[in-house]
A and B are shown apart, each in its own frame.
Chain A
Amino acid sequence: MATDAADAAAPTSRLDRLDTRTRVIVAVALVLTLVSLRSWVLLSAAIVLGLLLTGFAGIPARQTLRRLLHVEGFLLILFVALPLTTRLPPFLEIGPLALSLPGLERAVTLALRITAAALVVLPLISDLTPIRLGHALGRLGLPPRLVQVFLFSIRYIELLRAEARRLHDAMRLRGFAPRTNLHTLKSYGHFIGQLLVRAIERAERVNEAMRCRGFAGRFPLVTLERFGTADVGVAGLTVLLAAAALLLDRL
C-alpha cells in the first residue's frame, strides 16, 4: 500500500527492472567519471551513450530538452563571461574585450561535460517516483529519521499547495491585486507567515490523526525490489566503462 498519487501517475521505464539502489549508484559513479575526463572525443562519446540510454528508457524528447535547457542556462552566464574575461592569453581582441582561446577551450569542455552528465543521469533517475526514491534511500542505509522527513515532505507538498491556493483565493476575493507598494509587500509577508503557521499546525494535526489510527511513526518500507542478475550486469558494465574511459583519457 505504499502507493501514492505521484506513484500512480509515474510512467514505467524499461530500466524498471533494475533495483533503484543500482540506478542511483550507477548514476553517481558515471558522473564522477565524467568529471575526471578531459578528452572531447570521450565526452562526446558519453553524450552519445547518454542519448542512447535516454532512448532506451523511453524518455520523451521534450522532457530531455527541457532538462538540458535548464542545465545549459547555468552555463550560459559562464559561457558569455568566460572567454571574454579570463586572464589567459588573448585570442581575439575587440575593443576592450579579449576573447581567449584556452578560455574558449575550457568552456567547450565544460559544456560537453555538463551535457553528458545530464544525459546520463536523466534516464537513470528522472522517472523514479519520490516514494520509490525514499524507500531506496532507506535501503541504502540513510538514517531512518532522514528518510521519514523525506517521505513526510512528499505528502506535505500537496497539502501546502492546497493551503496556499485557498489563502490566495481569500486574498483575491477581498480585492487584493499586487502592486508596488508597502501594502502589497506586507500582505505577502502575512501570506507567507500565515501559510507557514497554518501548514505547520496542519502538518502536526495530520501527524496526530495518523497516530490516532495506530500509525507507529514509521512508514513500512516494503518493496518488491531485489538486487538481481540485471543489477550485477549493469554494475559490472559501469565499472568497465568508467575504467576504460579513465584509461583512454590519460593516453
Chain B
Amino acid sequence: MAHIPDGVLSLPVLAAGTLAGVGGLALGIRRLTDRDIPRTALLAAVFFIASSQAFSLGPTSVHLLLGGLTGLVLGWKAFPAIFVGLLLQTLLFGFGGLTTLGVDLVNMALPGVLLAAVVRPFIRVDRPARSAAFTGGAAALAVVITAVLVGVEIALSEPAFAPALGVMAAAYLPLAGIEAAVTAFVTLYLLKVKPEMIVAPAVLGTAI
C-alpha cells in the first residue's frame, strides 16, 4: 500500500517529492564506493523480494517494507538501494508508478535512514537486548512515518481525501508491529554473527 500509483498525486507534490528523492539519491551515491556496490545491490534485492512476498494478516495481506533495516545497514546508501528495488517492482510487478518513483523513494527511504542515524549510537555488541529494542522501535516508527507521509501527500493532492487517511494509517499499525519484531530479532542475530553490518565503527571498536 505504500506504493502510490501514477495519476494520484498532483504536479506540485510530484515535483517536490521528486526533488527530495533526487537529493537523497545524490547523497547516497556520493557515499557509494566500488566495494559498497555488491552490498547495496543485495539489499535492493532483499527489499524487492520482501515486498513481493505478501503474507496474510487477518483479512488483508501485507508485505514487509524493511525501511528501518535497510537504513540501519546502509545509511544514506539506502536511497540508491530502495530506488533500484522500486524500479524493479514497477517494471516486473507494476507496483507503484513511474512518475511517483521519487515520492515513493522518499516515503520509504527517508524515515528509515533518519531513524537509523538516531538509534545507531545506541547499538552495542555488549548490550544486545537494548540494541534490539532500539532498532525494533525505529523500524516500527519508520513504518508509521511512511504511512503518514503517504497520507499527507495524497491529502495535499486531493484535499477531499484527507479524512479517509486516518483509516489508512490505522491499517499500517499491525505491519509496524511485525516489522519491529523482525528487525529486533535480525538485530540480535547480526550482533552475534556480523556486528559490523549494523554497528557504527567507533562503537564497535570500543565494544570488542
Contacts and interface: CB of A to CB of B under 8 A. Distances in A.
Interface of A: 24, 27-28, 31-32, 34-36, 66-67, 70-71, 74, 77-78, 81-82, 85-88, 102-103, 106, 110, 113-114, 116-118, 121-122, 125-126, 128, 130, 133, 143, 145-146, 148-157, 159-161, 164, 185-186, 188-190, 192-197, 199-200, 203-204, 206-207, 217
Given A153-B48, A186-B185, A189-B182, A116 B7 contact: yes
A186 B184 CA distance: 10
A117 B160 contact: no
Contacts, number: 209
A128 B91 CA distance: 7
B123 interface: no
A31 B38 contact: no
Interface string B142-156: 000000000000100
A156 B46 CA distance: 9
Given A32-B99, A118-B6, A160-B49, A185 B181 contact: yes
19 contacts: A32-B14, A35-B6, A67-B94, A103-B160, A121-B6, A130-B88, A146-B25, A152-B37, A153-B81, A153-B85, A154-B88, A156-B38, A188-B182, A189-B189, A193-B186, A193-B193, A194-B189, A197-B193, A197-B197
A196 B192 CA distance: 13
Interface string B47-64: 011000000000000000
A108 B208 CA distance: 61
Interface of B: 1, 3-11, 14, 25, 29, 32, 34, 37-42, 44-46, 48-49, 73, 80-81, 83-85, 87-88, 90-95, 97-99, 154, 158, 160-161, 163-164, 167-168, 171, 181-182, 184-186, 188-190, 193-194, 197
Contact of A70 (B95, B163, B182, B197): B95
B37 A200 contact: no
Given A117-B97, A160-B45, A197-B197, A149 B185 contact: no
A157 B45 contact: yes
A146 B29 contact: yes
Contacts of A190: 185, 189
Contact of B91 (A35, A130, A204): A130
A70 B197 CA distance: 35
A200 B42 contact: yes
B4 A74 contact: yes
A160 B39 CA distance: 12
B41 A106 contact: no
**In terms of DSSP, what is the predominant structure of the interface of chain A?**
helix
Nearest to B25: A146
Given A35-B14, A77-B164, A146 B80 contact: yes
A81 B8 contact: no
B178 to A, nearest CB: 9
**In terms of DSSP, what is the predominant structure of the interface of chain B?**
helix
A232 to B, nearest CB: 22
Contacts of A157: 45, 48-49, 88
Contacts of B83: 146
A196 B83 CA distance: 19
Name the residue among B81, B184, B194 with the largest chain A CB count within 10 angstroms. Answer: B194
Nearest to A187: B185
Contact of B98 (A27, A36, A154, A204): A27
Across chains A and B, which 8 residue pairs bring their CB atoms closest together, nearest first? A189-B185, A193-B189, A81-B164, A152-B41, A117-B7, A117-B6, A153-B44, A153-B41
B197 A110 contact: no
A210 to B, nearest CB: 10
B20 to A, nearest CB: 17
Contacts of A148: 37, 41
